[in-house]
């Protein structure tokens, strides 16, 4: 059939009109990204007198306390409103119970105090899990059979959360995936007078293969000869979206202030489903493996790094995230601050 035989030809609705130039594309853009949407994960290491590069995460460093404070000051100036702290614990301080997590003079409480003194307007999110502190690398303590003991772990996490709240954390962020931990932490904080300390719950954290570079960064990775640490007994099955939704909504019932999906990019469907079922703010963690894959492809000339990283963040925002934890935070915040910057 010839085009002139079609009753609707030429087309009345030409979608390309809305894409014809940078100005109209900007005016009609539906999803926007700002520095205030982003949270910067920072790795803190006591012995890092100078920033230590992380081989598997180009452009990311382990930082000493003073360097962390300097980084926080820079991020805040760029419009970033929060950081998430992760300790790289000296192996000599690790043990099966992860007792270093409860030290009020530990690395993270001291880092918190310095940040709050120097950059009081910056929100600080503190990870609550035992894997940086246990010599076996699991997120909780083990019972006699070698299985993570849920209830014994929750009791420790409550004390850890209180320690972090007393040190000045704005949010504690339980990432352990133990049952009932959000409610127990909320009760502990409230009964201790820390009503204003929030809980960002890792509400849908999957047993993902994308965490490898992070474990290198914090020193919780096992030697390659021992194989990948199996956390499927408490982290979510990547094949189970309904279970993920149920887990997240239980955290909401228990008093979480913000729910998070981790990883972000491979689980955009989970993020969108959760957005449809809750009115709470949603966070998503663009994890180390996502970051490193984008860098690796760009280093080989297969992708355009600036465009790919921005597109990846826009996809997470579009899927429903209000907050994005990303190792691209500083670079993207710098880009967004330039008057000449355009997504086009």
Q: Is the residue at 27 inside a domain?
A: no
The conformation of residue 235, written as its DSSP 8-state character, comes to S
Give 310 or 6, the one with higher predicted confidence.
310
Indicate whether 124 belongs to any domain. Answer: yes
Residue 115 CA to chain centroid, in angstroms? 19
pLDDT band of residue 213 (cuts 50, 70, 90) is confident
CB within 8 A of 171, min separation 6: which ones? Answer: 123, 124, 125, 126, 197, 198, 199, 200, 257, 258
Neighbours of 8 (CB within 10 A): 7
Q: Which is higher by pLDDT, 214 or 149?
A: 149
pLDDT of 245 > 70? The answer is yes
Domain contains 18: no
Query: Mean pLDDT throughout 289-302?
Result: 97
- Model confidence at 2, pLDDT cuts 50, 70, 90, reads low
Q: pLDDT value at position 122?
A: 98
Contacts of 44 (CB under 8 A, 6+ apart): 62, 63, 64, 65, 68, 85, 86, 87, 88, 107, 108, 111
Per the domain annotation, does 22 fall within a domain?
A: no
pLDDT tens figures, 11-58: 888 999 999 999 999 999 999 999 999 999 999 999 999 999 999 999
- Please identify which of the residues 94, 262, 317, 330 carries the catalytic annotation: 262
User: For position 196, what pLDDT does the model report?
Assistant: 98
For residue 257, the tally of other CB atoms under 10 A from its CB is 15
Does the pLDDT of residue 6 top 90, yes or no?
Answer: no
> Looking at residue 77, which CATH number applies to its domain?
3.20.20.70
Question: CA 289, 294, 296 angle in degrees (round to 5)?
Answer: 90
Q: How far apart are CA 105 and CA 162, in angstroms?
A: 13
205 given a catalytic annotation: yes
Task: Note if 97 is an active site residue.
Answer: no
Residue 215 pLDDT level (bands cut at 50, 70, 90): confident
Specify the pLDDT at position 4: 59
What is residue 157's predicted lDDT score, i.e. its pLDDT? Answer: 98
Given a cut of 90, is residue 216 above it in pLDDT? no
Average pLDDT over residues 79-106: 96
Using alpha carbons, select from 136, 121, 100, 107 the residue that is nearest to residue 43: 107
pLDDT at 279 over 80: yes
Residue 142: pLDDT above 70?
Answer: yes
Range of lowest pLDDT (59-63, 203-207, 312-316, 339-343)? 339-343
Residue 228's pLDDT band (cuts 50, 70, 90): confident
Q: What is the pLDDT of residue 270?
A: 98
Number of domains in the chain: 1
Domain region containing 301:
32-337
Position 102 pLDDT exceeds 70: yes
CA-to-CA dists, residue 45 to 18, 223, 257, angstroms:
50, 20, 29
Does some domain include residue 26?
no
Whether residue 239 has pLDDT greater than 70? yes
Question: Per the residue annotation, which of 205, 231, 317, 330 is the catalytic one?
Answer: 205
Contact by Cβ (8 Å): 149, 140 = yes
4 belongs to a structural domain = no
Q: In the predicted model, is pLDDT for residue 223 greater than 60?
A: no
Judge whether 246 lies within some domain.
Answer: yes
Assigned domain for 100 exists = yes
- pLDDT reported for residue 36: 97
**CA 127, CA 179: separation in Å to the nearest integer?**
17
Reported confidence tier of residue 229, pLDDT bands at 50, 70, 90: confident
Q: Does 98 score more than 60 pLDDT?
A: yes
Query: Closest Cα partner for 220 from 100, 87, 105?
Result: 87
Of the two residues 223 and 258, the one the predictor is more confident about is 258
Provide the pLDDT for residue 11: 84
Q: Find tokens 């992708």 and name the residue.
A: 303
The CB density around residue 114, as the number of other CB atoms within 10 Å, is: 16
| For residues 175-187, average pLDDT | 98
Q: What is the mean pLDDT of the chain?
A: 94
């Amino acid at each position: 059939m010839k085009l002139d035989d079609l009753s609707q030809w030429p087309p009345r609705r030409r979608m390309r009109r809305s894409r014809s130039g940078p100005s109209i594309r900007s005016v009609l853009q539906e999803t926007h990204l700002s520095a205030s949407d982003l949270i910067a994960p920072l790795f803190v290491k006591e012995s890092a007198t100078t920033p230590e590069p992380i081989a598997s995460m180009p452009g990311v460093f382990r930082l000493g306390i003073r360097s962390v404070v300097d980084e926080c000051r820079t991020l805040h100036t760029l419009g970033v409103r929060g950081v998430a702290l992760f300790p790289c614990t000296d192996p000599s301080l690790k043990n099966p119970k992860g007792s270093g997590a409860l030290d009020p003079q530990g690395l993270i409480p001291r880092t918190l105090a310095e940040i709050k003194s120097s950059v009081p307007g910056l929100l600080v999110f503190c990870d609550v899990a035992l894997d940086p502190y246990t010599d076996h690398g699991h997120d909780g303590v083990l019972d006699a059979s070698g299985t993570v003991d849920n209830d014994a772990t929750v009791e420790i996490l409550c004390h850890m959360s209180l320690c972090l709240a007393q040190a000045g954390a704005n949010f504690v962020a339980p990432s352990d995936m133990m049952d009932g931990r959000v409610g127990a932490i909320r009760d502990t904080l409230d009964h201790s007078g820390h009503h204003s300390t929030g809980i960002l719950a890792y509400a849908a954290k999957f047993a993902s293969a994308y965490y490898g570079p992070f474990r290198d960064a914090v020193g919780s990775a096992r030697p390659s000869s021992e194989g990948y640490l199996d956390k499927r007994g408490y982290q979510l099955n990547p094949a189970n979206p309904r279970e993920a939704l149920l887990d997240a909504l239980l955290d909401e019932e228990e008093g979480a202030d913000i729910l998070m999906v981790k990883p972000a990019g491979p689980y955009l469907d989970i993020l969108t489903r959760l957005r449809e079922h809750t009115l709470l703010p949603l966070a998503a963690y663009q994890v180390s493996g996502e970051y490193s894959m984008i860098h690796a492809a760009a280093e080989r000339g297969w992708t355009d790094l600036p465009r790919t990283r921005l597109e990846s963040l826009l996809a997470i925002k579009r899927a429903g995230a209000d907050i994005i934890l990303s190792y691209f935070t500083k670079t993207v915040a710098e880009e967004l601050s330039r008057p000449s910057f355009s997504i086009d």
